[in-house]
A and B are shown apart, each in its own frame.
Chain A
Amino acid sequence: MSQAPNTAPNTRRLAWQGLVREVQNGLLTPMLLALLVAVSAVTAVGFFVDRVDGAMRAQAAQFLAADARVEAPGPLDVALETARELDLTTSQQVTFPTVVLAGEQTLLVGLKAVDDAYPLRGELRIREDGGPRSVTHGPPPGEAWVAPRARLSLGLELGDALQVGQSELPVTAVIEREPDVGNVFSQAAPRLMIHRDDLAATELVTDTSRVEHALLLASDANDRTARLDRLAEQLPAEYELERPENSQPAFETAFDRAARFLGLASVVAVLLAGAALVIAARHYNRIQQDTAALMRALGASSQQIGAIYRWRLLMLALAAAVPGIAIGAVTQLLLADLMTAVLDVDLPPPGLMPVALGLAVALVALFGFALPSLIQLKHTPPLRVLNQRATAPSPAASLLFAAGLIAIALLVWFQARDAALALYVLGGLAVSLGTFLIVAWLLVSALRRWPARGVARFGLARMARARWVSATQIAALALGVTAVLLLSVVRADLIEAWERQIPTNAPNVFAINIQPDEVDEMRGFLDRQGIDDAGFYPMIRGRLEASNGNAIDPDNYEGRAHRLATREFNLSTSDELAADNRVLAGTFPAEGFSVEEGIAETLGWSLGDRLTFRVDGRAISSEITSIRSVDWDSMRPNFFVIANPGLMENVAAQYITSFHLPEGSEDRQVELLRAFPTVTLFDVSRILDEVRTLIARASQAVEYVFAFTVMAGLVVLLAAFGASERQRIHDAAVLRVMGASRRMVLSALWIEFLVLGLLVGLLAAFAAMGVGSLLSAQVFDLPWRLNPWLLAWGIGAGLLLAALITPLLGWRMTRVAPAKALRS
């Protein structure tokens, strides 16, 4: 037997030939466009999120002034030695509170002594005689730099001398921005920064002093993360390692939410493109059956036919992926441009991951949504060349369903970066689609009994004749309109809710160390200034002594838990739950302690555990009777542990509050400090402003990405009507041959599409309401109000759809003479 010839090169050539011609004659246009939109959306968002992620990490490093920071209550020799072994750049600093003297004025300051290497990342902004400038070093030996509040409180001028312990140092600059400002509450007083070499001369630090040692670490090596991981493993338990990922939670949360919005927009664009692919592939299957049958008649094996279509799909995927990735890359430039103003650092160049993702999306979408329809072409009976009734078997519903489901799961997983979002989108889409199909079928069935006459009868007859086809078409379009409504109206509502989270008058100044007898006076002071306070809460220092009767042994804890177990807690008392707190378990007001869920998880606490705190020399013991979630973004005073007021009777407490001060009111802060000299203020307006700008820019970015979703919706439209166009042209020709006027044909078409648009709009509006409320509550963690205008928007969108399609389709149906249409 002779060896079978190698047909593979010819198979690929035939696949390519067909691809080129079918793109040229428009047969593959809907599939190509659908893929193009999907790939562009995914890569644009991928590139953008990748770059902003990188920039956020770099910016977070600036907030730490390093790539990592090790803190310990004692000297950091072990960490320093390990860091040197790992070839990490280091900078050492010491911080502690102390009282300084300027003339007759005294002030509690947060002293920070830094070395020459400080800061390892980011820069300081200082104001000197010559004006403000950015520097990448701390004060040189023999000089002192102070925060504006310290300068105001002490009435200092540049050049004035400041008594720091036993040393006298001239103030040569005012620190306007300090990169590693750290946790505002650990900085109990305004900053004073000196050189580490001057520390000994002050004689402030002795062996028994309570100072905090910090070691800043950085590396430019590619394996920086691995080196830092190794360091983390080798550190003793009492050392705490801080990494950039957890240094700016407010910023992180804002960007995380933005990334979710973007992910959602691109997921919906990709899924709509998938719907377009399913429709377009079925149409392509019908058209290609003649070709497949002819090739079978000419001797092609089923394997050859299968290979030709698989190759064609692969080539189509590549043909769409290359320009799609290019469009994505250009779009991300626009998106990135929005963010440069928000981030202090340059956006890093994008990685190659989004390119791989774009290719993967093209392949998964095509092979998941289109291949199941096309693979059956290999079973087209060759007899079809003589008898058109011989058709390829329909693809098994189970195959279509399984392949589609796998593709959807993969695509959502690629994009959503979030299991909850993926689940809700998939569930929402599946439930919506199922509901749409059933309701559309019922509505179309009802149309059959509609006593329409004349032109209306023609228009509605088409819909009623093929109930499942019409129901599928309505369901696909309703899904498209739902997505557009969700991402336009609901998006606007969600962004508004998000912006409401940090309203323009959110508290931006915290005041602590308020004495109990000052509370009423200060409340009155703020009232007179027209400033609303966020309430005054007692703040009681307490050390965790025992848990369930067992004494706390710090050695049993690591990292954050170790730090919490060894330090004093800020406890509070309240019998009223703050608006930004939510009880997750137990009851509030708590009979014992109410603890925040995060700390409970870190320290392994649960409801019913008995905690003992040492407060004012007294042991206060009670059970955990509630666990709360806290919205830390609210900028209101919040506490890890709130005790029943009865437990803390006769305990010395200081109070805390927060309030909003408009920009440029430093003088009011000074006035307040003069009236209440023991009070300490923290200004968090810079972080708030940055988060707010980030939200504004991110919502703009969402709008850009939303354009892809609209485009994907239009491709669904194109695919849906492209598939039925031939049949419509034929039917119109028959009607015209039978004597129907052009006007009559067009009127019937208008009636059909107006009814279809109305049904689509209604279904989409209700779905958008349901999915919108689910997404806002479960995924974005935002309150969401039902927008009654959704109904109007939905119906409007449906009718607009009709108004867009009908004239175009009408023109194509009637421009060809009936005889020619029937012949073709």
Chain B
Amino acid sequence: MRTPEPLTIVHQATLQIFPGEAVALVGPSGAGKSTLLALMAGLDSPSQGEVVLDGHALSQLDEDGRAAVRSGRVGFVFQSFQLIDGLNALENVALPLELTGARDAERRAREALEEVGLGERLRHLPRQLSGGEQQRVALARAFVGEPAVLFADEPTGSLDTATGEHVIELLFRLRERHQTTLVLVTHDPALAARCDRGFQIQAGRVSDWTPDPEALQAHPGGRA
């Protein structure tokens, strides 16, 4: 069997994100946005270069070391929600706390769910919730551990416009309240424009991004 040629997804990206900033990564599908996010979050390792997350040089660490850095410091929101089917809303939200050995996981998870307006849905399984509700559970899970950094990968990609807007409002409100650094992957310029700064990825190359007023007018709601 022939081994396929190695494919470079992200070339020579140098970017620095400061605590409390909201940064957008924009670009078309397949440009490498999610790959860059994975590298920044320590979910993947770059073939060359270094990622420093919250003071930790990730390439010096093995998989478990990177997991330890993420533990309690990093939150995630995914396009496909990534809730565990077998766990109810409360258990899903408590999961990151349970993994750090927290003893008050349930109380804090309940508060987080109340914060996203799902205080009445604690015992519902993911399949018993709408898409919007599932993403709100995911938001509660992302913020419950008071993370320093939140990585959000197309958080509205699976939602309709109205629900998506509602989720984004909630995301930014929570980030504001918790003073969390946000790295947001999106192909929606309007949504990206809500962030403090932006980077564009085109064919794996990263450059600064500034919002285009015309594009923003075309999508005033922040959804493509």
B is bound to A: yes
B179 part of interface (Cβ distance < 8 Å):
no
A300 touching B67, Cβ below 8 Å: yes
Q: For chain B residues 151-186, which have a beta carbon within 8 Å of chain A?
A: 153
Min CB gap A332→B, angstroms: 36
For B154, the closest partner residue in chain A by CB is A386
Instruction: Enumerate 23 A-B pairs (CB-CB under 8 Å) in ascending A order.
Output: A6-B101, A7-B98, A7-B101, A9-B101, A10-B98, A10-B99, A14-B99, A17-B87, A25-B86, A290-B82, A290-B84, A297-B76, A299-B67, A299-B71, A301-B64, A302-B67, A381-B63, A382-B67, A383-B44, A385-B43, A385-B76, A386-B153, A387-B34
Compute how far the CA of A4 lies from the CA of B70 in the bound complex, rounded to whole angstroms: 15
Min CB gap B155→A, angstroms: 13
Compute how far the CA of A385 lies from the CA of B64 in the bound complex, rounded to whole angstroms: 16
A294 touching B84, Cβ below 8 Å: yes
For A8, the closest partner residue in chain B by CB is B101
> For residue A382, which residues in chain B have a CB less than 8 angstroms away from its CB?
42-43, 63, 67
B188 part of interface (Cβ distance < 8 Å):
no
Q: For chain B residues 57-72, which have a beta carbon within 8 Å of chain A?
A: 63-64, 67-72
Compute how far the CA of A22 lies from the CA of B34 in the bound complex, rounded to whole angstroms: 31
A299 touching B74, Cβ below 8 Å: yes
> For residue A385, which residues in chain B have a CB less than 8 angstroms away from its CB?
43, 76, 78, 82
- In the complex, which range does the number of interface residues on chain A fall in? 20 to 34
Q: Say yes or no: A386-B96 contact (C-beta < 8 A), given A22-B86, A25-B86.
A: no
B43 touching A300, Cβ below 8 Å: no
A298 touching B86, Cβ below 8 Å: no
A296 part of interface (Cβ distance < 8 Å):
yes
> For residue A4, which residues in chain B have a CB less than 8 angstroms away from its CB?
101
Interface string of B76-91 (1 = CB under 8 A from A): 1010001011110001
Interface string of A230-243 (1 = CB under 8 A from B): 00000000000000
> For residue B101, which residues in chain A have a CB less than 8 angstroms away from its CB?
4-7, 9-10
A142 part of interface (Cβ distance < 8 Å):
no
Interface string of A268-302 (1 = CB under 8 A from B): 00000000000000000000001100111111111
Interface string of B118-158 (1 = CB under 8 A from A): 00000000000000000000000000000000000100000
Compute how far the CA of A526 lies from the CA of B96 in the bound complex, rounded to whole angstroms: 91
B34 touching A17, Cβ below 8 Å: no
Q: Say yes or no: A297-B43 contact (C-beta < 8 A), given A18-B87, A302-B64, A385-B78.
A: yes
A505 part of interface (Cβ distance < 8 Å):
no
A21 part of interface (Cβ distance < 8 Å):
yes
Given contact pairs A25-B86, A297-B70, A381-B44, a sample of 6 additional A-B residue pairs in the complex whose CB atoms are under 8 Å apart: A7-B101, A14-B98, A24-B86, A300-B67, A383-B44, A387-B34
Min CB gap A538→B, angstroms: 80
Min CB gap A382→B, angstroms: 5
Query: A-side binding surface: helix, strand, loop or mixed?
Result: helix
Min CB gap A28→B, angstroms: 10
B203 part of interface (Cβ distance < 8 Å):
no
A7 touching B99, Cβ below 8 Å: yes
> For residue B102, which residues in chain A have a CB less than 8 angstroms away from its CB?
5, 10
A500 part of interface (Cβ distance < 8 Å):
no
A298 touching B68, Cβ below 8 Å: no
Compute how far the CA of A5 lies from the CA of B105 in the bound complex, rounded to whole angstroms: 13
A27 part of interface (Cβ distance < 8 Å):
yes
B193 part of interface (Cβ distance < 8 Å):
no
A294's partner among B44, B82, B105 (CB-CB below 8 A) is B82
> For residue B96, which residues in chain A have a CB less than 8 angstroms away from its CB?
298-299
B216 part of interface (Cβ distance < 8 Å):
no
Q: Total A-B residue pairs with C-beta atoms closer than 8 Å?
A: 97
Q: Say yes or no: A13-B98 contact (C-beta < 8 A), given A18-B86, A21-B87, A303-B64.
A: yes
> For residue B34, which residues in chain A have a CB less than 8 angstroms away from its CB?
386-387
Interface string of B92-116 (1 = CB under 8 A from A): 0001101111100100000000000
Q: Say yes or no: A300-B99 contact (C-beta < 8 A), given A21-B87, A290-B82, A294-B84.
A: yes
Among B73, B99, B153, the one with the most A-chain Cβ atoms within 10 Å of its Cβ is B99
B70 touching A298, Cβ below 8 Å: yes
Interface string of B38-63 (1 = CB under 8 A from A): 10011110000000000000000001
Compute how far the CA of A552 lies from the CA of B142 in the bound complex, rounded to whole angstroms: 93
Q: Say yes or no: A21-B64 contact (C-beta < 8 A), given A298-B71, A387-B34.
A: no
B195 part of interface (Cβ distance < 8 Å):
no
Min CB gap A671→B, angstroms: 82
> For residue A291, which residues in chain B have a CB less than 8 angstroms away from its CB?
84, 86
Among A5, A17, A298, A301, the one with the most B-chain Cβ atoms within 10 Å of its Cβ is A298
Q: Say yes or no: A299-B100 contact (C-beta < 8 A), given A10-B105, A385-B43.
A: yes
Q: Say yes or no: A383-B87 contact (C-beta < 8 A), given A10-B99, A14-B98.
A: no
For A21, the closest partner residue in chain B by CB is B86
> For residue A301, which residues in chain B have a CB less than 8 angstroms away from its CB?
64, 67-68
Q: For chain A residues 371-425, which have a beta carbon within 8 Å of chain B?
A: 381-383, 385-387
B38's partner among A10, A294, A296, A386 (CB-CB below 8 A) is A386
Q: For chain A residues 1-46, which have a beta carbon within 8 Å of chain B?
A: 4-7, 9-10, 13-14, 17-18, 21-22, 24-25, 27
For B66, the closest partner residue in chain A by CB is A382
A25 touching B85, Cβ below 8 Å: yes
Min CB gap B183→A, angstroms: 13
A5 touching B43, Cβ below 8 Å: no
> For residue B153, which residues in chain A have a CB less than 8 angstroms away from its CB?
386
> For residue B64, which residues in chain A have a CB less than 8 angstroms away from its CB?
301-303
Q: Say yes or no: A304-B99 contact (C-beta < 8 A), given A297-B70, A299-B70, A385-B43.
A: yes
> For residue B85, which residues in chain A have a CB less than 8 angstroms away from its CB?
25
List 5 tightest A-B contacts by C-beta distance, closest first: A299-B71, A5-B101, A21-B86, A7-B101, A10-B98
A386 touching B78, Cβ below 8 Å: yes
> For residue A290, which residues in chain B have a CB less than 8 angstroms away from its CB?
82, 84
A298's partner among B69, B91, B95 (CB-CB below 8 A) is B95
A14 touching B78, Cβ below 8 Å: no
Compute how far the CA of A799 lies from the CA of B117 in the bound complex, rounded to whole angstroms: 56
Among B41, B64, B73, the one with the most A-chain Cβ atoms within 10 Å of its Cβ is B64
A295's partner among B41, B72, B95 (CB-CB below 8 A) is B95
Min CB gap A251→B, angstroms: 54
B224 part of interface (Cβ distance < 8 Å):
no
> For residue A18, which residues in chain B have a CB less than 8 angstroms away from its CB?
84, 86-87
Min CB gap B152→A, angstroms: 12
Min CB gap B221→A, angstroms: 25
Compute how far the CA of A299 lies from the CA of B98 in the bound complex, rounded to whole angstroms: 11
> For residue A298, which residues in chain B have a CB less than 8 angstroms away from its CB?
70-71, 76, 95-96, 99
